[in-house]
Chain A
Amino acid sequence: MKDKIDNIQRYLVTATEAVSFSITALEPLSGGAIQENWRLEADVIGGPHAGRLVAVLRTDAPSVVAESRGRAEEFALLRAAFAAGVIVPEPLWLAADPAIAGKPFFVMRHLLGVADRFRIVKDMSLAPDRPALVRDLATQMARIHAIRPPISGLEFLPEPSPSPAIFWVARYRAFLDSLDWPFPGLEWALRWLELNAPAAPVSGVALCHNDFRTGNYLVDGSGLTAVLDWEFAGWGDPMADIGWFCARCWRAGKDEMEAGGIGIREDFYAAYEAASGCRIDGGAVVYWEVMAHLRWAVIAAQQAARHIDGGQVSLELALIGHVVPELELEILRMTEPD
């Protein structure tokens, strides 16, 4: 650990063009089954960042979800979002070379706030004006969707063809095929998603966050402070983000609050339409809500497989496998034959 801190300091003194860069604290932050976040405090002498620095150092955790992008790509996405005026932690420096700290990492500005979705849905002292929070989230999402290809630095993002929906159906089938046991309930979902797939958006694909939900943004006593976790972002159908945000599985038990467990769906739609100038297709959102449950179920099955196959023995991963049937039930309810 001491060696690693020395290496990180050496790297950051150059990156920050400082005379000296002394780490005074490096402590793990909670949250993130996929990434590890560390609170980094440092005294910086000289250079444009001179003074006291409070930042977050983000690196890979031992378990990696197949869909998740690496740190260098996430850094590029965060930069694109920051440049487009989305409220995100300012991305500062990327160390793509794993030799420095054992794995790639990047440093971003530390923003205060709470992300825990179970706390956010219950604790009304956080973002107490909930209709305003709903509007702010819709506005941020619209700002993300205004990012359209081509964007310099995002050339690594694949074009989802023939359409975002069919692209994901094929991906998830391939994921299920890589597992050792069958999931007829999830196959039902995929067949439904295949037959009911919307065409590619007429206005072209947009940047989708792909994990925009309660739990992945920060709020404090006054409201929204940041949109986090950009590792799944990519070109896609904007309705997919809306479906993911509204899906029942992310409402943290507040089922009646269809907008992320924190607000009214119609309010979110109205604010999104006002900010984006695009009409929301309610039927398409329902489609993407089915996709949301399927996606979460596939990720859960993959997490369980990680434990079962011995890659990483973990009670948390093992228990995640047991959320699959709940998601199946919701999918089956949404896709009942006529």
Chain B
Amino acid sequence: MDRPVFQPALEGGFVGRSVPRLEDLPMLTGSGRYAADISFPRELHMRVVRSSHAHARIVAIDASAARELPGCVAVWTSEDVADIPPIDFRPTRVQGLEPYRQPVLARGRVRYVGEPVAVVFAEDPYLAEDAADLVAMEVEELPVVLSADRGTEAAVIRKGYGDVAAAFAAAHAVVELDLAIGRHSGVPLETRGAIARYDAMRDVLELHGATKRPHANRDLLARMLAREPSSIHLYEGHVGGGFGVRGEIYPEDVLVCAAALRLGRPVKWIEDRRENLMACNHSREQRHRVRAAIDAEGRILGIDDEFFHDQGAYVRTHGARVADMTAGMLPGPYRVPAYRAIGHYRLTNKTPAATYRAPGRYEATFVCERLLDAIAAKIGIDRVEARRRNLIPKTEMPYARELDVIDTELVLDSGDYAGLLDKALARAGWPALQRELETRRAAGEAVGAGLAFFVEKSGLGPVDGARVSMAADGTFDVVTGAASLGQGVETVLAQIAADALGVDYRRVRVAHGCTDRIEQGYGSHASRTTVMTGSAVHIAATKLRENMQPGCSAQGSFKSEHMTYPYGAHIAVVKVDRETGGVAVERYLAAFDIGRAVNPRLVEGQIEGGVVQGLGGALLEEFVYDAQGSPLSVTLADYAMPTACEAPGIAVLLTEDAPSPLNPLGIKGAGEGGVNPVGAVIASAIDDALGVPGAVTRLPVTPARLVEIMRAERR
């Protein structure tokens, strides 16, 4: 075959261009392979029997009727999995969390509605559900705790620096707020799924439907099932949304693996929506009592925050990371000479919580930006001016904050915060917008604009690797330990490789999400893939170019001790219906500096999707429980996610003014800047529409709550 070995690369390269995605063809032609599309001959179907009690002692579980149902192969309760330890969390400096890990099946006690108490294995999913309905549980009800104001304190996160007491003693004024973020989470349209198969010939256990962190999950499963990691392989297919919740090890993942080994048949489990909303990680719910000490010009002298993190019933794989990141990231883009955060990480009788896109930061930015608005109101200055006076100047970059975030030192690597603020205000036409809103308010409309500035974190280390090789036909294989959550990993890594190799990106195949292709991998989370895996691919491809022959390959490894910190500003215009409490988002601008955008269109997609998710948490989404701890938001009719109909037009301003000095391409991660400040900016905009600074203290701002806010204001 006479193919040109080298296709001429695009002039100026592929990085920085919005080239079409390599992933799209199977999706657009209905040939995608999601978890439910994967089947094996002789597979069994697993159904989880879940607790309908929020807190109870298990007196007895009677599975005899289920076992007798024709087609039911096995029923397991906790005795059947007594040898499997509870699910571990990532290594952490936070001590004392071990007793609160979740067992794969409840032992002696159930602690939230939805907790797995038994599993049924049957010949088809209908029979599995029939059998599950026959499992009877006798319990003795126990008191339930549904607020982090109470609840077992599993850990306390303490962070801070400087003399907070002195800052408050010297303050010209103090602003003090009591703020709450509602319980909500990432809700992927594709629910979770896990298909396990044991191949006795190779002595390999396969788990299909993996994503996010296949290698780490392999190692965790190996420990729990007492197997060698090399005898377990995880495989990733297409993923219908990750958002932090998908791709962690949950009880169901362990159970399908154990069952495939013990029952000698492939085992498939596909989560249904009702399960998804009560079994998959929740997130976000925190209450903050926060104070800021300020001088006469509104400059921050100190921040003192005490917060209560509602973890739900168990510590899951993230440990206390969300509370940790909240405390670490709360000072945001501002100079804060003295800081103290005390986070009470408490257990309640709700679905356990963990990370959801911009974990800890959606919460922290809401708190920090509510403070900045309150400072502006207190001093009587414009909200923009309050931020200008406190932003860390470009000249002080890199800026080391005496804080750590998830066990890494917080060093803001680069940034021109004031510069981006100016650009965002200019793009929004801020002065003209203010005049327009004044006119409309004078005519009786409740319209307002909100502004929020934020710092994200991305590119979590410590290391990543890649292998690039040239095939005989002149194409290239890039093998990575990354995962794809649908965000365009293959395209972006191919663009980076193509430029280093000097070839067309369409000649580059990117492998990800398969533990049998590469020894180590760190998956896709924490906005790390383009930064970490991308850098490793760049290094490997650059090496290969030195000796580019068919059959040759090169390894690349990239280490980073510090994260990179992208930053942004969002501006929203809202209209409040004073009578119904309805909020319409009329306009939205998301400005974001990510150092260098490898594929701007994909970055814009990340931001727009994130903004819409953020609007969900700001206005619509909340996991509500009744007084007995029964979840009331277990369908998509009652858990109200925004749809395309609720999404406003979103303008994205991408800037590349502050490339990261920490990696060869200057990249910062782009996955979470869309969602991060949305709660903050919507709160600010509603305040402005009502003409009441500080009106919003609690998310989501539901119509009923907003009517109450307006009623209280009139009194």
Mutual binders A and B? no
Interface residues of A (CB under 8 A from B): none
